[in-house]
Amino acid sequence: MTPNAFIISKLQSFIHDFPQTRVRYEHDKLSDTHFVEVVPNKVYYLNDKYIEWESKMFDEFVKRFPLENIGFISDDAIVGIDHADFELKGSTNTPLRTNF
């Protein structure tokens, strides 16, 4: 299994456990890093269940692919996802409203 397939497989099960989220994945070839973006911020920063999931996912990824890099971010990170390779929205994820 490739790193990309592994990450996508994990995100497909992730979205069922965290239906209030949106996840995006990108393999940044320039930095050779796999980025996973999780929103909303309140899940990324404050949800203990998510924090535990991320820790386990990171450990399993590094164990399987020791020569690869992975990073987890939210939409307020300095680095971001420019061209998502994969995106999923949970069943209860609601888009942010913008007032113009």
pLDDT tens digits for range 36-48: 999 999 999 999 9
82 or 54, greater pLDDT: 54
Residue 34 lies in a domain: yes
Is 15 domain-assigned? no
The structural domain count of the chain equals 1
Q: Going along the chain, which residue ranges are E strands?
A: 22-28, 33-39, 69-73, 86-89
Residue 12 to residue 75: CA distance in whole angstroms: 20
| Residue at 100 is within a domain | no
93 in any annotated domain: no
Asked whether residue 36 is assigned to any structural domain, the reply reads yes
- The answer to whether position 96 is within a domain reads no
Does 92 fall in a domain? no
For residue 100, the surrounding DSSP H or E stretch is: none
Residue 40 belongs to domain with CATH number: 3.30.70.2210
Measured CA to CA, the distance from residue 28 to residue 21 in angstroms comes to: 22
Residue 100 pLDDT greater than 80, yes or no: no
Model pTM above 0.85: yes
Say whether 80 sits in a helix, a strand or coil.
Answer: coil
Distances (CA, A) of 13 to 21, 32, 53, 88: 12, 24, 11, 11
Query: What does the DSSP 8-state code read for residue 84?
Result: -
Domain hosting 66: range is: 3-10+21-76
86 is a domain residue = no
99: confidence class by pLDDT, cuts 50, 70, 90: very low
